[in-house]
Each structure stands twice: as C-alpha cells, then as structure tokens.
C-alpha cells in the first residue's frame, strides 16, 4: 500500500509540511531582518562619528590630507572606517584626500556623496563595490563644494549573517528529519489505535458483543472507543431483547393455536352434545380474540420500533375520555363484580392524539379489571395538575411491589401470581405511545390504592375549544 494513503503517512506528511513551513517563515523573518538590523546599526554609527569628526573645529582644513590623517582618521579607525574628501567639479567628484592613501578610483562618483552634494544635507546608506557591501555616511561641507565621506566594509557583519543563515538551514534540516521520524512514529501509534477501533467495529457488525472496546486515552479517539463500547452494550441488550421477544411472541402465539387445534379435534367427534359444542365454540372465539389482539399489539410495537407510528396533535378532553371508558367497560365491570367510578373533572384538556389516548386508557382499565379480585373498586379520573393534564386509573387491588414498577412496562413481563391474561404487551405499548405524545405514565401507590396516571401537556388556554371556555 502507498504510505501516503495511510493515516500514519498522511499525518507524518502533514507534520513535515507544518515544520517546513514554520522554518521557512523563521528563515524569511529572521535572516533578512538581522542583516537589515546590522547594516542599519553600522550606518547609524558612521553618521554619529561623522558628525563628531566634522564638529572638531569649525575652521578645520577639511580639504587637506593633513586634516584627514591627524584629525579625521584616528576616531574613524574605531569603526574601521575610511575617510575620503571629495570636491565637486563639472564632471562629477574630484578626490582631494583619502585615509587609505592609495588609489581612490574605487569610490569615484560615490552615490552617497553625490546625493549629499545634490541635497546639501547629510546622507547615509549602503553601496556595493567590487562584490562587497559598504556602509557609508556623507556630509557636505557648508560654504564649499566639498563633501566628507565615511565608508566602512560590511564584510564582518555579513559574515555574521551568513553564520546565522547557515545555522538556521542546518537546524531546519535537523528539525525536518526529526519531524519526519517523530511524526511517522506518532502517526503509526495513532493509526494503530484507529485499526483497533476498526477491528472492534467489524466484531460488532458481525454480531460479536462479548469483547469490550477499550481505549483509556482522554482524547477524541478514546471518547470514540467509549461510544463504541456503549453502542456494543446497547446492541447486545437489543439482541437479547430481540431473542426474548421472538421466544415470548412464539409462545404467546403457540398457546392459543394449540388450544384452537385441540378444540377443533374435539368438535370433530360426533358424541358431543349441543351444550358442550357451544361451550367449545365460545372458548374458540375467545382464543381468536386473543390472537387478534396479540397480532394488533405486535403490529403496533413493530411500527413503534421502526418509527413509523405517527400521532396527531389536537385538543383532547380527558374528562370525555374518562366517561367514554366508563361507558365502554361498564358492562364488563358489572359482570366481574368491579364497582367502576368515574370523575371527568372540570376542563381537563390536553394536547395529544385522542385515538391514542383512548387506546392507553383502555389498556389501563382492562389491566385493572383483569388483575384485581371481584369487589375491587376501579376509578377513572381526569384533571389538571402542575401545568399538565392527567388521566388516572386507580384500583384498591393487591397492588404492585415497588421493585416491579419499572419492570411491568417491559414487553411480555407479568407479575408472579397474576392472571395470565393478555399478551403482556399493553403497558409497553402504552408507555411508548405516551412518549410519542410528549407525555409519560406514572405509577404510584398510596393507602392501598395503585394508580396509573397518563401525564400529557395541557392545552393552552387561548387554544381551548369554544365549548371548554363557556
């Protein structure tokens, strides 16, 4: 594989580019500025020294070699500077005196001296002669056409700049090599952690949830590994739930089917009397009803799990729902010996889906009638409390143990000792539907009463139906 196509290679290349870019910026900023600083300092020193030399005597014989040798050259030597005196003629500069005592052709028509004569002001700068740089300062002699020039070689200063340049280049080369080695090493370690996460993802994708995804580092990869492990635990839990769901659903379907098969075999016998045959038909009808309800519950759960079950948002009169439930379950409650009380409250309006609210109410009332002994009171009430609309179903039956109040909302869960009726899916569906409508189901017990409360967002006052505002 091409190394540049790997994470380690790309990270190493990125680090190399960052280091190289940083060194290039350092080189561009440091070396030229250092050279400019040295040149500026040398020129400023020459300018100060020239002022000192010229101000020795206002009547100094500026145009003589003697003045250069006796007065100007000694202080100029402290700067390793050369003193030259020029006079302007019609063709340019004429050499008058030179501390170098040699041929002055190398400084003929010096640009700094010419500029000083043209402007009649002191000038300074750098010039290049015979591939060598010089710092210069020129002073036009007042009342004459002469100019005094101090010139000093920048050879030593440029040597210092060259040393700095070479050291920067060498340091940059070493830093680049170090960056490549360190970057590739760190990138390889980093890529190794990514490969471990990739292997963990492959294990999870293949359905193996037994091995922990571990990376103790506090960085983003460590956080990703911990997120992977939470996903692993969640998927393992879902896989167990799926297996239990399939097993329980199969059991719930098998029981009524076996019962129906048995009744059909018995009905095939010719010795059955009419009363027994009618009893068998009634039992078979109950089993068909049980299968139909189970199929409906399983369909609702599948839609909930797939996120395809939608709810409406409308104004719902919970008091009217309570009265509807009392009317619907009144005959059944009377036949089982359960007194059924209803309290519709006063203006308990909620923002929800009326059909789903009625479905939840039916589940709660049916559970109360099935799982309590004859004579137990079942009460349905509606009201407002704490800014929420509430529909409650209470009974004074045997109650629910505190440790089981969460478990009863699990699919196919049944309390020990209760009547094995229904599919065990009702409360699970009720809680899911309540959550879809922005509500919840609360379970409380107080003074021998068990209470299931559907809590929903209350309808705002300015959105209530006209009849509710009367």
pLDDT at 470 over 50: no
How many whole angstroms separate alpha carbon 199 and alpha carbon 214? 12
Cα–Cα separations (whole angstroms), residue 435 to 311, 354, 382: 10, 14, 19
User: Domain 220-306 maps to which CATH number in 1.10.10.10, 3.40.309.10, 3.90.380.10, 1.10.287.130?
Assistant: 1.10.287.130
- For residue 38, the model assigns a pLDDT of 85
DSSP-based three-state secondary structure for 11:
helix
- For residue 5, the model assigns a pLDDT of 61
pLDDT at 345 over 60: yes
DSSP-based three-state secondary structure for 372:
coil
Most confident option among 121-135, 223-237, 243-257, 267-281: 121-135
Which pairing describes strands 81-89 and 146-153: parallel, antiparallel, or unpaired? Answer: antiparallel
How many whole angstroms separate alpha carbon 11 and alpha carbon 180? 10
DSSP string, 85-114: EEEEETTEEEEEEETT-S--GGGTT-HHHH
- For residue 222, the model assigns a pLDDT of 81
Query: pLDDT digit string (tens) for 369-408?
Result: 888 888 899 999 999 988 899 999 999 877 777 777 677 7
Mean pLDDT of 414-442: 75
Residues 6+ apart with CB under 8 A from 92: 108, 109, 114
Residues 6+ apart with CB under 8 A from 187: 7, 8, 9, 10, 11, 12, 15
Mean pLDDT across the chain: 80
- For residue 58, the model assigns a pLDDT of 47
Mean pLDDT of 190-200: 80
pLDDT level of residue 252 (50, 70, 90 thresholds):
low
Query: pLDDT digit string (tens) for 58-108?
Result: 445 656 788 888 778 888 888 888 888 888 877 778 878 888 877 777 888
**Percentage, residues of the chain above pLDDT 70:** 86
The whole-model pTM stands at: 0.48
**Domain boundaries defined on the chain:** 3-160, 220-306, 314-469
Mean pLDDT of 149-165: 86
**Where does residue 462 rank: exposed (0-12), middle (13-18), buried (19+ CB within 10 A)?**
exposed
Cα–Cα separations (whole angstroms), residue 147 to 50, 87, 127, 153, 250: 11, 6, 17, 20, 115
Helix (H) or strand (E) holding 452: strand 449-457
- Percent helix / strand / coil, the chain, rounded to 5: 55, 20, 25
- For residue 207, the model assigns a pLDDT of 79
Q: What is the CATH number of domain 314-469?
A: 3.30.565.10
pLDDT at 422 over 60: no
pLDDT at 19 over 50: yes
CB 325 within 8 Å of CB 358: yes
Query: pLDDT digit string (tens) for 34-59?
Result: 788 888 888 888 888 888 877 654 44
Query: 3-160 adopts what CATH topology?
Result: Beta-Lactamase (3.30.450)
- For residue 469, the model assigns a pLDDT of 34
């Amino acid at each position: 594989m091409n190394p540049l196509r790997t994470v380690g290679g790309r990270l190493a290349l990125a680090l190399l580019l960052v280091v190289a870019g940083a060194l290039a910026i350092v080189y561009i900023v440091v070396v030229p500025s250092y050279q400019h600083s040295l040149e500026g300092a040398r020129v400023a020193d020459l300018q100060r020294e020239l002022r000192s030399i010229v101000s020795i005597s206002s009547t100094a014989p500026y145009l003589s070699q003697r003045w250069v040798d006796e007065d100007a050259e000694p202080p100029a030597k402290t700067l390793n500077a050369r003193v030259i005196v020029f006079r302007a003629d019609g063709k340019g500069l004429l050499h008058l005196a030179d501390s170098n005592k040699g041929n002055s052709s190398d400084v003929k028509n010096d640009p700094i001296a010419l500029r000083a004569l043209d402007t009649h002001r002191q000038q300074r700068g750098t010039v290049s002669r015979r591939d060598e740089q010089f710092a210069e300062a020129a002073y036009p002699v007042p009342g004459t056409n002469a100019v005094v020039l101090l010139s000093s070689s920048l050879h030593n200063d440029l040597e210092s700049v060259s040393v700095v340049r070479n050291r920067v280049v060498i340091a940059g080369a070493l830093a680049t090599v170090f960056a490549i080695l360190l970057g590739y090493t760190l990138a390889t370690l980093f890529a190794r952690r990514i490969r471990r996460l990739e292997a963990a993802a492959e294990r999870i994708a293949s359905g193996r949830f037994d091995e922990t995804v571990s990376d103790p580092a506090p960085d983003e990869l460590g956080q990703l590994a911990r997120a992977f492990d939470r996903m692993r635990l969640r998927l393992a839990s879902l896989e167990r739930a799926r297996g239990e769901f399939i097993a329980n659903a199969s059991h719930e379907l098998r029981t009524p089917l076996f019962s129906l098969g048995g009744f059909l075999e018995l009905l095939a016998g010719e010795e059955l009397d009419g009363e027994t045959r009618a009893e068998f038909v009634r039992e078979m009808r109950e089993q068909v009803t049980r299968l139909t309800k189970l199929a409906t519950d399983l369909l609702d759960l599948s839609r909930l799990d797939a996120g395809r079950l939608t709810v409406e948002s409308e104004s719902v009169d919970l008091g009217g729902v309570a009265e509807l439930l009392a009317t619907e379950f009144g005959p059944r409650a009377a036949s089982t010996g359960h007194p059924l009380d209803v309290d519709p409250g006063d203006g308990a309006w909620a923002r929800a889906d009326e059909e789903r609210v009625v479905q939840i109410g039916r589940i709660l009332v049916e559970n109360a009638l099935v799982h309590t002994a004859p004579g137990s009171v079942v009460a349905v009430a509606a009201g407002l409390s704490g800014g929420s609309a509430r529909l409650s179903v209470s009974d004074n039956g045997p109650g629910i143990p505190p440790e089981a109040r969460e478990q009863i909302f699990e699919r196919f869960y049944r309390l020990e000792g209760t009547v094995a009726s229904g599919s065990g899916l009702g409360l699970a569906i009720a809680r899911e539907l309540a959550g879809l409508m922005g509500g919840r189901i609360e379970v409380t017990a107080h003074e021998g009463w068990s209470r299931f409360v559907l809590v929903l967002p209350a309808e705002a006052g300015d959105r209530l139906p006209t009849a509710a505002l009367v």
